[in-house]
Amino acid sequence: MSTETLEAPVVETVKMNGLQAINAALSEAMEADPKVLVLGEDIADNEGGGVCGVTRGLSTKFGTSRVRSTPISEQAIMGAAIGVAMAGYKPVAEIMLMNFTTVAMDMIVNHAAKLRFMSGGQSQVPLVIRTMTGGGNQTAGQHADFYEAWFAHTAGIKVVIPWTPGDMKGLYLSAIQDPDPVIIIESVKTLFVPMDTPVNQGPIPLGKANVVVPGSDLTIVSYGQMMFTVMQAVEELTAAGVSVEVVDLRTISPWDKETVLASAEKTGRLLVVHEAGRNFGPGAEIAATAQEVLFGKLKAPVGRLGAPYCAVPFAKKLEDAYLVQPPEIVAEVKRLMAI
Amino acid sequence: MSETPTNRAIPDAATQVDIYRRMIRIERNDDLTRQQIRRGRITAPYYSARGQECIPSAISVLLNNDDKICTIYRGIHDMVAKDMPLRPLWAEICGRVDGTCKGKGGPMHLTHPETGVMVTTGIVGSSMPIANGFGWAALLDGTKQVTVAYFGDGASNIGAFHEALNLASVWKLPVIFVCQNNGFAEHTRYENGTSVDFIAKRAAGYGMPGYTVDGNDPLDVYAHAHAAIERARAGEGPTLLECKTFRFMGHVFGDNDAYMTKEEKAAAIEADPLPRFRQKLIDDGVASAEELDALTARIEAEVNDAIDYAMACEFPSDDELRRDVFAEEIPA
């Protein structure tokens, strides 16, 4: 609902979690476009509408020929999605957890991502892969990894990691209509945390970062559920008098260099924080690009925080140590600020 | 294995000649490809299908232009049988911009949607899961289109085969899984890598009919493919056809065939299905030797024209590295 002041229009919001936001995006997309399909394990209502209920109600509304539960066969899921996409449909294929994408890597990397190029543009694979992941639930080494760097390293597939439910909805609406394959990595925490979400959230373009908090001393770039941790740290830093600019990257590949580098140039300091492993993680790419473009303009080396070089551990104590926590971010910011 | 279908379909005279035409088109194309490689005029990995001509030829006469195939790196014979035009095919093999994939795919990734050549994969087993997607689209579209997934005997041991056949059966997809069993998975003899004596037996595990077919007999391939395609078009689901054959030229061009005996190779070449079928057509009065010779000459001219055309085409510009990664060109 807009007001008649000169300020930015007030957007009417509603409390919504990620599950509801994705459900709304899929439902709207299927309603608007009969070519949109959904497939994956347990996704139809007969099987419970998805392991977390994201797709609940869709098969009842749109029928089981458009909303198809599949066997636990990730290669078969991705293969079917690729073929049907090449035949003119827009499938949203759920690979329940990010670690399970490893079973379908041949289909995703060798086929979905490359068929347009290898066919000289004759083949189009407009599919969306939905997958969720994230630490904090003691699911240990095979259910919680962030593997976005693998996909960002593969030419031909776009990689999206939304933080807020509103961004989830907006980015899904864009991804479904994108002519190329997109993998959307859903953070488990966002799925269950209700947040203020614009009513009638429309499409949000892929490849555009969001400056969530403006600031002047240092830029933090993050994305996905790590944004919750970053925001906690920023609260503390703000109280301590440090002005942090927070950029939610939202799309990992292709990433919004313009926004990130403009912010880093403005503040003179850059810290990248992600849940994925620090070694060879997206932070390395961002840091390398920042030093290429901003060498001499930065007041401190680019900082990177990410997971240590080990599998996601089970014990709560270890899991807490594995995940970047607010005090580490605060300490790293202070180190970069030399305070 | 399932019982051989009753009411075996028999191709009429014109269809038999059409099968032979496709076989000769494959053989001439293959022979001249190897000649061009030997002369150093093209540089490409080449997986000859010489000896396997029968299988896609007898199947393709039953397919419409909009029926689809998904094939593999040893699959140029499948495309030639599907009547893919030879000029863009050759330009692609030669890495030219006028190739069907602008020189960006090469012989292992030839694609030509106009003739239904949808995917050519260099990954063993990967033609099958994607073929299912085209099958699903045909169901959604309510057409009678079918998709043929071609693969080799080695591919029946990879996970994709099992996942794909299971899903196709559960969803009753109009897909025909055609295994061209040439007895060797790369260099490994069939029995050293495969747990069953007949791959067709595996169909039972996925609740679909499976037949072992004489892949060197066009009429046997035709009859089984006819039944499988009719079943798919009727909405009754997929079929597995195991077509037994032999590859005369080894795994890849330059292969020394050290893993097979000279005797078995000689015996296979002795039983070459191509001259056998030619003789049968003549003996049955379906076509005269002169007619078949004229057909061969026409096809040889078509292949030579394609080679000349391809060699005269330009190589792709380096800008192509930024194109077709995504729909939108990547800025320089």
Angle between helix axes A18-32 and A165-177 (nearest 10 degrees) is: 30
Examine the fold and report which residue of A156, A177, A198 is the final residue of a domain before the chain moves on.
A198
Does the distance separating the beta carbons of B111 and A118 come in below 8 Å? yes
**Number of domains, chain A:** 2
Mean pLDDT, chain A, integer: 96
| Domain co-membership, A214 together with A184 | no
Does the distance separating the beta carbons of B103 and A120 come in below 8 Å? yes
| Domain co-membership, A118 together with A192 | yes
| Domain co-membership, A180 together with A214 | no
> To 10 degrees, the CA torsion angle through A145, A149, A153, A155?
70
Closest partner residue to B140 among A75, A89, A120, by Cβ? A89
Q: Which residue, chain included where needed, has tokens 């390398």?
A: A288
User: Residue A71 belongs to a domain with what CATH number?
Assistant: 3.40.50.970
Q: In angstroms, what CA-CA distances link A224 with A187, A188, A213, A250, B34?
A: 6, 9, 16, 7, 54
Cα separation of A119 and B168, whole Å?
Answer: 26
A189 in any annotated domain: yes
Closest partner residue to A80 among B159, B167, B327, by Cβ? B167
User: Which residue of chain B is at minimal alpha-carbon distance from A157?
Assistant: B326
> Residues with Cβ < 8 Å from A38, sequence gap 6 or more?
A26, A30, A55, A58, A66, A67, A68, A91, A92, A93, A94
| Domain co-membership, A132 together with A154 | yes
Write down the pLDDT at residue B3: 65
A204 in any annotated domain: no
Name every chain A residue with its beta carbon within 8 A of the beta carbon of B102.
120-121
CA distance B134 to chain A (A): 5
Cα separation of B165 and B237, whole Å?
Answer: 11
Q: Which residues of chain B have pLDDT under 50?
A: none
Closest partner residue to A118 among B109, B118, B135, by Cβ? B109
Name every chain A residue with its beta carbon within 8 A of the beta carbon of B164.
75-76, 79
Write down the pLDDT at residue B250: 87
A307 in any annotated domain: yes
Q: In angstroms, what CA-CA distances link B118 with A114, A118, B33, B78, B260?
A: 14, 12, 22, 12, 33
User: Which residue of chain A is at minimal alpha-carbon distance from B158?
Assistant: A75
Name every chain B residue with its beta carbon within 8 A of the beta carbon of A116.
324-327
User: Residue A217 belongs to a domain with what CATH number?
Assistant: 3.40.50.920
Cα separation of B136 and B172, whole Å?
Answer: 9
- DSSP notation for A187-203: EHHHHHS-EEEETT---
Name every chain B residue with its beta carbon within 8 A of the beta carbon of A38.
none
Q: Is A274 an annotated catalytic residue?
A: no
Q: Which residue, chain included where needed, has tokens 């995917």?
A: B119
Answer whether residue A219 shows pLDDT above 50.
yes
Does the distance separating the beta carbons of B171 and A87 come in below 8 Å? no
Specify the DSSP class assigned to residue A305.
E
What is the pLDDT confidence band of residue A3, given thresholds at 50, 70 and 90?
A: very low
Closest partner residue to B167 among A66, A76, A120, by Cβ? A76
CA distance B326 to chain A (A): 6
Does the distance separating the beta carbons of A70 and B136 come in below 8 Å? no
Closest partner residue to B164 among A66, A79, A120, by Cβ? A79
Does the distance separating the beta carbons of B139 and A180 come in below 8 Å? no
**Six-digit token string for A202:** 């429309």
Quick one: which of B46, B111, B102, B43 has its CA closest to B315? B102
Does the distance separating the beta carbons of A71 and B170 come in below 8 Å? yes
User: Which residue of chain B is at minimal alpha-carbon distance from A121?
Assistant: B324
Q: Which residue, chain included where needed, has tokens 């094939």?
A: B71
| Domain co-membership, A18 together with A150 | yes
Examine the fold and report which residue of A150, A170, A198 is the final residue of a domain before the chain moves on.
A198
ipTM of the complex: 0.96
Write down the pLDDT at residue B7: 77
Q: Does A160 touch chain B (CB under 8 A)?
A: no
Mutation target to probe the A interface, by most A beta carbons within 10 A, among B66, B70, B89, B119 is: B119
Quick one: which of B159, B155, B72, B156 has its CA closest to B117? B72
A134 in any annotated domain: yes
Can you give chain B as a three-state secondary structure string? CCCCCCCCCCCCHHHHHHHHHHHHHHHHHHHHHHHHHHCCCCCCCCCCCCCCCHHHHHHHCCCCCCCEEEEECCCHHHHHHCCCCHHHHHHHHCCCCCCCCCCCCCCCCCCEHHHCEEEEECCCCCHHHHHHHHHHHHHHHCCCCCEEEEEECHHHHCHHHHHHHHHHHHCCCCEEEEEEECCEECCEEHHHHCCCCCHHHHHHHHCCCEEEEECCCHHHHHHHHHHHHHHHHCCCCCEEEEEECCCCCCCCCCCCCCCCCHHHHHHHHHCCHHHHHHHHHHHCCCCCHHHHHHHHHHHHHHHHHHHHHHHHCCCCCHHHHHCCCCCCCCCC
Given a contact cutoff of 8 angstroms between Cβ atoms, the answer to whether A275 and A224 are in contact is yes
Write down the pLDDT at residue B4: 67
Does the distance separating the beta carbons of A116 and B324 come in below 8 Å? yes
Helix, strand, or coil (residue A214): coil
Quick one: which of B181, B184, B246, B166 has its CA closest to B211? B181
Cα separation of B135 and B143, whole Å?
Answer: 10
Cα separation of A206 and A203, whole Å?
Answer: 9
Does the distance separating the beta carbons of A65 and B118 come in below 8 Å? no
Specify the DSSP class assigned to residue A170.
H
Helix, strand, or coil (residue A109): helix
Q: Please report the residues numbered 13 through 52 in chain A whose beta carbons come closer than 8 angstroms to any beta carbon of chain B.
A: 37
Residue B20 burial by Cβ neighbours in a 10 Å radius (0-12, 13-18, 19+)? buried
CA distance B88 to chain A (A): 12
Does the distance separating the beta carbons of B134 and A84 come in below 8 Å? yes
pTM as predicted? 0.96
Q: Structural domains in chain B?
A: 13-83+119-246+253-312 (3.40.50.970)
CA distance B89 to chain A (A): 12
Answer whether residue A231 shows pLDDT above 90.
yes
| Domain co-membership, A186 together with A59 | yes
Helix H or strand E encompassing A23: helix A18-32
Cα separation of B41 and B112, whole Å?
Answer: 24
What is the pLDDT confidence band of residue A10, given thresholds at 50, 70 and 90?
A: confident
| Domain co-membership, A227 together with A119 | no
Query: Mean pLDDT, to the nearest integer, of A201-214?
Result: 98
Does the distance separating the beta carbons of A111 and B100 come in below 8 Å? no
Answer whether residue A42 shows pLDDT above 60.
yes
Specify the DSSP class assigned to residue A66.
T
Name every chain B residue with its beta carbon within 8 A of the beta carbon of A66.
140
A5 in any annotated domain: no
| Domain co-membership, A85 together with A52 | yes
Q: What are phi and psi of B158, to 5 degrees?
A: -105, 150
| Domain co-membership, A78 together with A184 | yes
Closest partner residue to B137 among A83, A117, A180, by Cβ? A83
**Please, what is the Cα angle at A68 between B140 and A15, to 5 degrees?**
120
Answer whether residue A1 shows pLDDT above 70.
no
Examine the fold and report which residue of A177, A198, A219 is the final residue of a domain before the chain moves on.
A198
| Domain co-membership, A192 together with A214 | no
Answer whether residue A7 shows pLDDT above 80.
no
Least confident of A215-229, A305-319, B6-20, B306-320: B6-20
| Domain co-membership, A127 together with A219 | no
Mutation target to probe the B interface, by most B beta carbons within 10 A, among A62, A66, A75, A158 is: A75
Q: Which residue, chain included where needed, has tokens 């030797």?
A: B289
A138 in any annotated domain: yes
Domain range for A71 is 14-198
A3 in any annotated domain: no
Bridge partners, residue A248, by sequence: A210, A222
Burial B302-325 (b: 16+ CB within 10 A, else e): ebeebbebbeebeebeeebeebbb
A6 in any annotated domain: no
Q: Does A121 touch chain B (CB under 8 A)?
A: yes
Does the distance separating the beta carbons of B129 and A75 come in below 8 Å? yes
| Domain co-membership, A186 together with A265 | no
